[in-house]
Amino acid sequence: MPIQYYLYLSLALFCTGIIGALMRRNAIVILMCIELMLNAVNLLLVAFSNHFNDASAQIFVFFIMVVAAAEVSIGLAIIVLMYRRVHSIDINILNRLKN
């Protein structure tokens, strides 16, 4: 299978993630969209790894997964913190910061 197919698939997934992150208002859904972006990258890295016959890209995928887990745990903690304060996870509430 040509590498282009993987490229198109993962760019499509990545764009889905971007559009979702920009359009949705729910913080957790935005977080999921960002995860989708990262997973699109993971897919492409694995495809390239197979293409170049180079294992380092697969190791990169491991690192991305670990960092993404760390990031998500911080992100969820922040969302919980905000939920306890304003009882909502709608990011429109963030506009309150703008004077």
Q: Which of 76, 88, 90, 92 binds another protein (CB under 8 A)?
A: 76
Q: Is residue 30 a contact residue for another protein (CB under 8 A)?
A: yes
Binding of another protein at residue 9 (CB under 8 A)?
no
Q: Which of 23, 25, 69, 90 binds another protein (CB under 8 A)?
A: 69
**Least distance in angstroms from the C-beta of 79 to another protein:** 7
Q: In Å, what is the CA distance from 47 to each residue of 14, 33, 42?
A: 15, 21, 9
CA 85 from chain centre, in angstroms, equals 25
Closest CA to 43 of 2, 1, 11: 11
Which residues are 90's β-sheet partners?
26
Size of the site for another protein (CB under 8 A): 54
Residue 13 CA to residue 77 CA, distance in Å, equals: 26
Which residue shows structure tokens 């208002």?
25
For 24, the 3-state DSSP assignment is: coil
Using CB under 8 A, list all residues that contact another protein: 1, 3, 7, 14, 17-18, 21, 27, 30-31, 34, 37-38, 40-41, 44-45, 48, 51-52, 54, 56-57, 59-60, 62-67, 69-82, 85-86, 91, 93-94, 96-99
